[in-house]
Structure 1
Amino acid sequence: MLRVSALILSCLLAAGAQATEPPAPVYGQELQGFDYPYPLKHFEFESQGKSLQMGYMDVPAKGHANGQTLLLMHGKNFCAATWDTSIKALTDAGYRVVAADQVGFCTSSKPENYQYSFQQLATNTHALLASLGIDKVTVLGHSTGGMLATRYALLYPGQVQRLAMVNPIGLEDWKALGVPYRTVDQWFAREAKLTADGIRSYERSTYYAGRWKPEFERWVTMLAGLNQGPGHNLVAWNSALIYDMIFTQPVVYEFKDLKMPTLLLIGDADTTAIGSDIAPPEVKARIGHYNVLGKQAAQVIPHATLVEFPGLGHAPQMEQPEQFHKALLAWLSKN
């Protein structure tokens, strides 16, 4: 009898614990409900016959302003908000910082039909800077934002004074290396099933070399809450279109055409490669090696400086922000 009573009590306690566990947060189609580290503004514009808007932060320099502006471009599984520590480090050093969410991402519009290209996203961003009266920038791009930063620098070489890329994807052409093509419909089916556990597992193994820090959880919640919110289908569909853009529009062949001083900041334990999960074993074995890719890119880009972070993964600015920002600010002060 005592054993049965103990079992019942245990079940009741477990049920009570589950009942008090807060539900996972969900966010609006444009990430409504998620707090950004600095005031969020919106740039409204017309593109492809649609009225769209881009969320962005325009953060002034603190202390003695040096008159220079950095434009920050986020990655595929990131948002402008994930630049929070970089924005603080840069503004503390006297830089004005503009960090925008690209169309299809985060706090920006998720159009039902949109022809995604890096040229289009660059054009959108150029219009944002023009509206702010900014004509000279240093561009800092992370992950997919590195591909966009490259395209932006190629389209607007007179505006981009310096270019910096943090573990940019697109340092190799996966389709040319034998990674199978996923259709947009296949990408959509994949993105529609996104969960917090799946995001966390992927990022831990691919981005952070098997490591995890509690502060990364906020960004998992951000992505999962956006995907599982009321805009679920549009968020997943735009994500699918963006993956197709990334896979089919390589920039690696044009690195040789970059004219401005360029900094590559590479966590050399990164293994990110789009489509590696469906690649044949022999293809998967030879892609996503940033300890090799960073050096190769530095040899091709005319005025390149390579800084490697041994043992760090896809987002060194988030894993070891002090080490990362020391290297970035040192380069900025010399160029």
Structure 2
Amino acid sequence: MNTKNIVALGLIGIFTLSSCSDDDSNDMMQENASANLYATSHANGNVTRYNLTTNSVTTFNTSASDSEGIYYDPESDSFTIATRGMTQTSLQTYVGISDMITATINLSVDFSSQAILQNPRDLAVSGDFYVVADSQNANAGRFFVFEKSNGSMTLSRTITTDFSVWGIEFVGNDLYAVVDNTNELAVFTNFLSSNPANATVSASKRIAIEGIVRTHGIAFDGGTLIMSDIAAASGTGADTDGGFHVITNFLSKFNATANGGTLAVGQQIRYAGSATLMGNPVNVEYDAESDTVYVAELANGAGRVLAFGNVSTAGGGNASPALNNSLAGVSSLYFYKG
């Protein structure tokens, strides 16, 4: 039996059942919709695409040997990855990938940025600007801001901050960033317009998220924010001590929490426990329409892509994932539906 097809069918169940409607126009939209989950890997730099509507899995062999951070652009039908390693430290873009549906495809880079990255952890996009969270050390991080234009990726500016960075997410014009080695969340308001040139800046606001030990991944959709908790990065039990938090009505809760304050765990939903198979959930994605969280789990089983459905209503706890697919060294995810 083909394990990947079984996994993809599980994803289709999450996508389709949650989107059912008696309205004919909505049914037609569902039939014409496509949903894809893209995953990167530390193991080989390849990109795996799970097509949730055609029940297929495609592996793109890229020019990278290691990557973390990915974005799919529907206008150019391309994905961009942040590459890592001694010789590959850039953004690489691969164009025209939707019609490629065979199981394994070898790709060549269509264009790339300057080789300036050092330790990329995540990628967030606003318009033509691609922001890479790059962790320098425990006390400092950088945001490399690239501008995509006419088939090129050019460094626009470098923003340095006073904490180690990991996951980042644009919510409107504001850039939210997890504070690595802590349970904190920071925001840089009007990030691009407020920081037009190279600068060293502090976050506009930082709060603690009660219940999280050490956060890494972040995702936002439909008013709900997801944050992952890797807890202990290594040692006994480190492959089962992770989790993620669901924060509905996020903006109102964040705005109501004072700078330096704590968002109470009672205002969140926590998923954690041995049945979740989460130990080091380094990256997360969220689809509000299906109320599904997708998790890049790095520690448990040497790497898994997990999915949990109905996360805002199921109540949290030690829930088993609806999807459990092995993917060695999985490092980041991007969900696209259109």
Same-fold status (TM-score > 0.5): no
Larger strand share, 1 or 2: 2
Q: Provide TM-score, normalisation by structure 2.
A: 0.26
Say which structure, 1 or 2, has more relative contact order (CA 8 Å, 6+ apart): 1
Which one has the largest radius of gyration?
1
TM score, norm. by length of structure 1: 0.26
